[in-house]
Structure 1
């Protein structure tokens, strides 16, 4: 009777099988883990033991050699073509670099400058002041709100500080993009010397 593999072991076996004749190349990482090259799939060293000990994959003395199925491993895969539950092979996600590039291309919704953080939702920019989370926030200069509305006709209203060092700048009928309004809002609050709350 074939063994009842744990989900982690079955996923590892199916992942190795998916790599085909070239095999699956794993690199050692700290903490007792191996990573499948070119992916973020990490697997604990102990997960290999049932497969190598049971003869389902080739046991290589060289940690850098790709792991391949043995005849016994291929037979197990033929007898169990459909993964049970979440035991399918590892499905690679995009690399961290490609995820970062995709995020960079997305519409900008937040920005930081000089410790101030700005987020925009429906043409309202919420400015969080430095040290807001620790009490004693660093606030923009006194009277900046009226000077900003006088200088920027599309800045409809400034509310704040809302919650100990947060301001809401409400823009109306402004043709600029969200990214431009974020930049402009941060420029407004950082253009004059800050003060302690």
Structure 2
């Protein structure tokens, strides 16, 4: 091997490491943004379906302050209706629970600012307003935002969005937990006009 061949092989080796090095450098440079985007990621491979948004919402909900009031148990009719809906369409079950969440959120929003509250506010506006008025803490706002995003994905599905019965049940449990917290704050008067 002469010097020219050695130089050519050395350059070829360096070039072949270019793409992996560029990828590692990009991940390192954008690591903060990537950690923000991870909860939005949904991966599917054969039977494996990973949704970081539900996982993040459950993690945040476990850190919410505990409410002495236990979640009201659904009536047998409600439970049967939800179970039937989950069997037919988990996406429809999520939308049903999203509607319940929106009602609870709307009640808290109207209570927090009766003079400016209007019925047409989006969930995002209601969450932001409640957070800005310190009616809800950062964790509750995060859980609500995750639930809002999941509900939006159910309402406007793409070909990548496939909701399972387990997703619908997890969503229902999170909605119940947050709704209980709202009901507790509304009844105790901790959600007052800002």
| TM bucket, shorter chain | under 0.3
RCO higher in structure (CA 8 A, sep ≥6): 2
- Structure 1 length normalisation: TM-score? 0.27
Q: Counting helix residues as a fraction of each chain, which structure ranks higher?
A: 2
Rg bigger for which structure?
1
- Structure 2 length normalisation: TM-score? 0.27
Q: Counting strand residues as a fraction of each chain, which structure ranks higher?
A: 1
